[in-house]
Structure 1
Amino acid sequence: MQIFDLVIIGAGAAGLFCAGLAGQRGQRVLLIDHSERLAEKIRISGGGRCNFTNRDVGPANFLSENPAYCRSALARYSSQDFVALVQKHGIRFHEKHKGQLFCDDSSEQIIQMLLAECDAGGVQRWQPSTVADVQTPPEGDSEGAGFTLETSRGVVKTKALVVATGGLSIPKIGASDWGLRLAKRLGHNIIEPRAALVPLTFDADAWAPFSALSGLSLPVIVSTGKGKARGRFLEDLLFTHRGLSGPAILQISSYWQEGENLQIDLAPDLDLVAKLMEAKSDSRRQLGNELASLFPQRLAQAWLDRLGLSGSRPMPECKDRDLQSLAGQLQGWQLTPNGSEGWRKAEVMRGGVDTRQLNSQNMQSKRVPGLYFIGEVVDVTGWLGGYNFQWAWSSAAACARSLGANVSND
């Protein structure tokens, strides 16, 4: 039997970072993961360049049943703090879009940086290794018996246990519900997990008129929901054979609920009615040509066909009500997804361990002292753009920095 101060289950972004920080604070740390290759989500992120954080991060960039929960961790370890670590390791990076930071070279550099931090803290890593059972400390535990773990490499005892097993997205790289099952067995509520940052799909018959637009991309405003649950984004939309994707749809998918409509403005920042009425007065071109000057030609033709309008009609001969209807359809397109592409295409999981049962200062369970949950397994889901990685770094830092310190469990 081996004894540690801390065992971390899950060697992804949150687990690796927590292990390195805790090890460098003098903790004897064991990091366990069931996969041979660690941190696959980091490796494939950002097309292989890892969108490791965002310059502008705040609670408004996250969704949770308990929205204020993430505030403390994000304030205690900011995106600027992680950028400083990246710079310390000499990793070159650039800002791509809306504050999103990517490695200039390869996401492998972030993985190697985290491994170097673990090495600096003397962290032991067991890979691949599985945990068959977790026995919690006896009630009272005045003698510090701690947790007992039955692993594929033998029995381990630890004073503290951190669950950093991630979510259910992208099962082909090893996603598992192990952490959620453990949390539930130990008395924690689970906010129902669902795929987020994921393409949306539509009924095949209803989508048939648009399937020919597959591959077409354009900037849009997309929105859904009401009140505090409303999401609205100005991003690029991508048509696919089965539905819609692109950053706009990935973002709104985290807000969309089954049965709700999406509202899409295909001409953001444009008074399309005024533009078409002006063209009717001033232009001799055909309606199809006029519309194709404002939109991709395939999209323009699809909407003319949808409304039964002739693209060959000269603008002066177009009826006002037809032009107004056309503009209204293009800027107020309403459609209802029948689902999403699911876990295989989802970038993250929405839902997870209920944060109302976790301490926001250190991620410790209020039900089981010495048990911590960090990263994606927790009910905190970020927007597209580096926010989920920042939650991994911030929640891991909050946990690691509290170990050995006198932090209350309120």
Structure 2
Amino acid sequence: MRDFDAIILGAGAAGLMCALRAGQRGRRVLLLDHAAQAGSKILISGGGRCNFTNLHTAPDRFFSANPHFCKSALARYRPADFLGLVGRHRIAWHEKTLGQLFCDGSARQIVAMLLAECEAAGVTLRLGHRVTDIGRDTAYYLDTDHGRFTAPALVLATGGLSIPKMGATGLAHDTARRFGLPLTGIRPGLVPLTFEGEALALMRPLSGLSLPAVARAGRHAFPEAVLFTHRGLSGPAILQASSAWREGQALTLDLLPGEDATARLLAGKQARPRAEPRSLLAEMLPQRLAQALATAWLPAGILAAQTDRDLKRTGGQLNAWSLLPSGTEGYAKAEVTLGGVDTAALSSRDMQARAAPGLFVIGEAVDVTGWLGGYNFQWAWASGHVAGEAL
């Protein structure tokens, strides 16, 4: 049995941040993970360059049953704070679109930075430790295949169910339940959408084709690229919309954002009556897509043979193509897990469980999920930091 002031279960983004901050405050910290290396998901993020935060971080960029819960942590540890840490370690970075910040070099620099900070703070890191039991008597205890560890504080930072090939498990959710913490509905987020029937028959031959569009699900609209796949739709706009989409709900695509598709079709008929519809559509859309939509949506024949009614209907579809997804590609392809430990069970100030003093839940395990583009990393840094301040 080895005693610590705090045990942090999970050496990912949130766990590393929590450990280094608690260690800096003089706490005896054990950071423990079943994986052979720390920060596995950090290493694969952003195409290996780690989209480590977003300059536009704000509470309205997060999904949660309680949209106000994330405000406290995000206000107390901002993107500028993490950038300061990156700067002190002389890691070069750049901004891409929409406020997304990436390393110029490798995501390994971020992991190395966090590990260096943990080491300097005296954190004890134990990798390759499989947990066999978790409980509480006079203190919290973890039984592992390397023995038992105890501490008055336990932090659950093992994430959600997304990307199981990287070692994701439901340990945080299971442990939360064990201590009486309720969970919200859990489902894959930032995930490609699948289709069946006629919709898939149209999409499958277009696999690999990408174009700018606006994807709408519920009250949310996301203007980014849409990618056709052999199973349906992906790309940033679809991944974003998937987090707002619910089973049985329609998804709407605007394939010509900022343009009046109906007006262009009617004007094209007047200007070039003998042209084929696919030729006119190809001036607005990628050629393969133009061909597919002309075949699917319009009668055969030149533009002069098309009724204004048919062209108006097609224009409406171009600006608001209503599709019914059959589902998602699941946790295997999901970048995040939506839902998690109910925020009503936690303090927004320090992430501590109200009904289990000394138990903290941070990062992806909590019912706070960010948009695509660095928001989930910022939530990991922020929630980990405020918990580390309280340990």
Query: TM-score range with shorter-chain normalisation?
Result: over 0.9
Q: Corresponding residue for 2:139?
A: 146
Provide the rounded CA distance (Å) in 1 between the counterparts of 2:26 and 2:261. Answer: 63
Provide the rounded CA distance (Å) in 2 between the counterparts of 1:289 and 1:148. Answer: 69
Q: Corresponding residue for 1:357?
A: 345
Q: Corresponding residue for 2:262?
A: 273
Identity level (%): 52
- Per the TM alignment, residue 88 of structure 1 is displaced from its structure 2 partner at its CA by 0.9
Q: Corresponding residue for 2:385?
A: 397
Provide the rounded CA distance (Å) in 2 between the counterparts of 1:265 and 1:374. Answer: 36
Q: Corresponding residue for 2:310?
A: 322
- Per the TM alignment, residue 149 of structure 1 is displaced from its structure 2 partner at its CA by 2.1
Q: Corresponding residue for 1:82?
A: 82
Provide the rounded CA distance (Å) in 2 between the counterparts of 1:17 and 1:204. Answer: 46
Q: Corresponding residue for 1:259?
A: 248
Provide, for residues 147-167 of structure 1, a one-character-per-residue CA deviation record: whole Å limited to 9, x for no partner: 122222222221211110011
1:326-337 to 2 correspondences below 5 Å: 326-337=314-325
Q: Corresponding residue for 2:186?
A: 193
Q: Corresponding residue for 2:15?
A: 15
Residue 162 of structure 2: which of 146, 162, 169 is its match? 169
1:172-251 to 2 correspondences below 5 Å: 172-225=165-218, 230-251=219-240
Provide the rounded CA distance (Å) in 1 between the counterparts of 2:94 and 2:348. Answer: 31
Contact 1:204 1:242 in 2 (8 A): no
Moved more, 280-289 or 2-11: 280-289
- Per the TM alignment, residue 205 of structure 1 is displaced from its structure 2 partner at its CA by 5.0
Q: Corresponding residue for 2:127?
A: 127
Report the 3-state secondary structure (helix = DSSP H, G, I; strand = E; otherwise coil) of the residue aligned with 2:355.
Answer: coil
Ranges in structure 1 where 5+ consecutive residues have no aligned partner: 138-144, 404-410
Provide the rounded CA distance (Å) in 2 between the counterparts of 1:2 and 1:374. Answer: 24
Provide, for residues 109-155 of structure 1, a one-character-per-residue CA deviation record: whole Å limited to 9, x for no partner: 00000001101111111110022222224xxxxxxx42122222222
Alignment root-mean-square deviation, CA? 1.2
Moved more, 388-397 or 323-332: 323-332
Contact 1:54 1:100 in 2 (8 A): yes
Contact 2:17 2:381 in 1 (8 A): yes
Provide the rounded CA distance (Å) in 1 between the counterparts of 2:157 and 2:340. Answer: 12
Q: Corresponding residue for 2:330?
A: 342
Q: Corresponding residue for 1:98?
A: 98
Q: Corresponding residue for 1:36?
A: 36
Whichever residue aligns with residue 291 of structure 1, its letter is L
Report the 3-state secondary structure (helix = DSSP H, G, I; strand = E; otherwise coil) of the residue aligned with 1:179.
Answer: helix
Report the 3-state secondary structure (helix = DSSP H, G, I; strand = E; otherwise coil) of the residue aligned with 2:113.
Answer: helix
Q: TM-score, normalised by structure 1?
A: 0.93
Q: TM-score, normalised by structure 2?
A: 0.97
Provide the rounded CA distance (Å) in 2 between the counterparts of 1:375 and 1:26. Answer: 23
Residue 284 of structure 2: which of 287, 290, 294 is its match? 294
Residue 372 of structure 1: which of 352, 357, 360 is its match? 360
Change (3 A) 1:288 1:387: same
- Per the TM alignment, residue 282 of structure 1 is displaced from its structure 2 partner at its CA by 2.4
Provide the rounded CA distance (Å) in 2 between the counterparts of 1:31 and 1:47. Answer: 26
Aligned residue pairs total: 390
